[in-house]
Amino acid sequence: MIFRKTNLLTTTMLAATLILSFTLLYSGCGKKTPTIDFYCHYKADFVQKMNKNGEWKTIVEGTTWENCSAMRIETTMSSPGMPNPITFITISRPDLDVSWQLFKKSKKYIEHSLDETIDGRNVEAPPIDIRAAANYEELGKETVNGYDCVKYKATISVSEERSQEIFMWSAKELKDLVIKREFSMPDGSLYTWELSNIEIGEQPKDVFEIPADYTKATEAEMSTLMMKEMMGDSMPMIPMMPPMPPATE
């Protein structure tokens, strides 16, 4: 199935899902390995950056919640000329093979399978199976954001022909929570994800559910969701065109 949405919505969905697949897979998702059991119950602020051609750029920052196999990400975007900041809320539930994007002002949500595509592109970019197995190699100790961490290299088997390497830093003080991740893409760009203002502990289950007063968006509503988030109650009503008069001979 292919979703066809506005460019901004499509870009946002792809970016959010990249973050989610990147984080859920490499945090360990609460799954024990022969040597490592990463902690995965927390709330924290995050920043994701990209380095391409030697220049670091912030891609997105916001707040994230995780309960191992469930994650929620909230980010806010604003720019000159935009009437109101837009808050993006994405919930990923690999245990249900589903992801939701919530729209606060409209009280609507979009649902898609983690295996679906958006405008012909697979949602899981890079295309890494969240349930893939990983081999870990301890590389030493480093300090990240004031925490003493153990640095690991994880090698994930994506397919028989392909593997992906990622570097991870887990903080002993935070029960081995991974607070930094780093990986490179085939084009040479480097991505990092770092946590700050970390609160460890089990997160409320309703954080990872659709609110009861939200309804699923129809295909017809999808094209106006972003405009509603930007304009709010000031969004103008577009009058319907009057019917054309009957043709006369």
What are the DSSP calls for 133-170, one per residue? -EEEEEEEEEEETTEEEEEEEEEEE-SSS-EEEEEEEE
Residue 17 tokens read as 């899902």
Q: Beta strands 2-3 and 117-118: pairing type?
A: parallel
Judge whether 187 and 75 are in contact, CB under 8 Å.
no
* 168 located within any domain: no
- Domain count of the chain? 1
- Count Cα neighbours of 240 within 13 Å in the Cβ-side half-sphere: 3
pLDDT in tens, 23-33: 544 444 433 34
* 178 located within any domain: no
- Count Cα neighbours of 40 within 13 Å in the Cβ-side half-sphere: 20
Helix (H) or strand (E) holding 222: helix 219-231
* 25 located within any domain: yes
* 11 located within any domain: yes
CA dihedral 77, 80, 82, 84 (to 10 degrees): 60
Structural domain of 94:
2-128+196-233
Residue 21 tokens read as 């697949």
**Region 98-117 average pLDDT:** 82
**Region 239-249 average pLDDT:** 49
pLDDT in tens, 195-220: 999 999 999 999 999 999 999 988 77
Strand partners, 137: 153
Judge whether 126 and 25 are in contact, CB under 8 Å.
no
Residue 126 tokens read as 């890079």
**Region 29-42 average pLDDT:** 64
Task: Identify residue 175 by its one-letter amino acid code.
Answer: K
118 confidence band (pLDDT: 50, 70, 90)? very low
87 confidence band (pLDDT: 50, 70, 90)? confident
Residue 155 has pLDDT above 70, yes or no: yes
* 83 located within any domain: yes
Which pLDDT does position 52 carry in this prediction? 85
Alpha carbons 89 and 68: distance in angstroms, whole number: 18
The whole-angstrom distance between residue 47's C-alpha and the CA centroid of its chain comes to 12
* 222 located within any domain: yes
